Amino acid sequence: MAEQTLEQRIARLEAHNDICKLMAEYLLVADQGYDPDKITAFFVEDATWEADVFGRFEGRQAIWDFFDSLSGALVFAAHFVTNPIITFETDDRVRGAWRLFQTATVNSDGALDSNLLVAAYDNEFVKIDGVWKFQAVNVHVNFFEPINKGWAETAKS
């Protein structure tokens, strides 16, 4: 492969920063109550969102419906992501991986539980008209359990 020019390297660094910023903005909206209008604005029309324990949602409307349903079930969330790995497939198509640690208050039929979630994101991003968007969000859950129950019996790698 040919060596990149300085301009190409700078463009990749800027794209890396833009993708990390998109991920941070998405998680901030999630932490502020999962507003489905704001969340789906980050996705292309034919995007997918999938998590082992929550299901698979295809298309922006299905993603909107899913996040709309979370407002009563997840009454609090704080997402903490680390270890970003950004891999360029092309200048306009990128994969991004992060580790996730999330605290959450879950409404289980009126009873509130303090939960912990540990997972990994494996996302796909596309650049449309100069703007990065989610093509796919894939959440691989290691565990999502009430703190008082623990996760020793359910955690998976």
Element (H, E) at 40: helix 36-40
Q: Identify the pLDDT of residue 151.
A: 78
Q: Identify the pLDDT of residue 148.
A: 85
Q: Give me the residue label for tokens 């997402």.
A: 79
**What global pTM score does this model have?**
0.91
Give the three-state DSSP class for 155: coil
List beta partners, residue 142: none
Q: What are phi and psi of 146, to 5 degrees?
A: -60, 140
Structure confidence by residue, pLDDT tens digits, 47-86:
999 999 899 999 999 999 999 998 778 899 999 999 999 9
Contacts (Cβ under 8 Å, ≥6 apart) of 108:
none
Amino acid 31 reads: D
Say which range, 2-11, 59-68, 144-153, has the weakest mean pLDDT.
144-153
Q: Identify the pLDDT of residue 1.
A: 55
Q: What is the mean pLDDT of the chain?
A: 94
Element (H, E) at 62: helix 60-73
State what percent of residues in the chain have pLDDT above 90: 83
Residue with the bigger pLDDT between 109 and 44: it is 44
Structure confidence by residue, pLDDT tens digits, 24-54:
999 999 999 999 999 999 999 999 999 998 9
Amino acid 59 reads: G
Q: Is residue 117 very low, low, confident or very high in pLDDT (cuts 50, 70, 90)?
A: very high
11, pLDDT greater than 80: yes
Query: Could you count the other beta carbons within 10 Å of the beta carbon of residue 150?
Result: 12
Report the alpha-carbon distance of residue 157 to residue 30 in Å, rounded: 24
Each residue of 33-61: b (16+ CB within 10 Å) or e? ebebebbbebbbeebbbebeeeeebebbe
Report the alpha-carbon distance of residue 27 to residue 151 in Å, rounded: 24
Residue with the bigger pLDDT between 123 and 154: it is 123
Task: For the chain, list the domains and their CATH numbers.
Answer: 6-146 (3.10.450.50)
Could you tell me if 73 and 104 are in contact, meaning their C-beta atoms sit under 8 angstroms apart? no
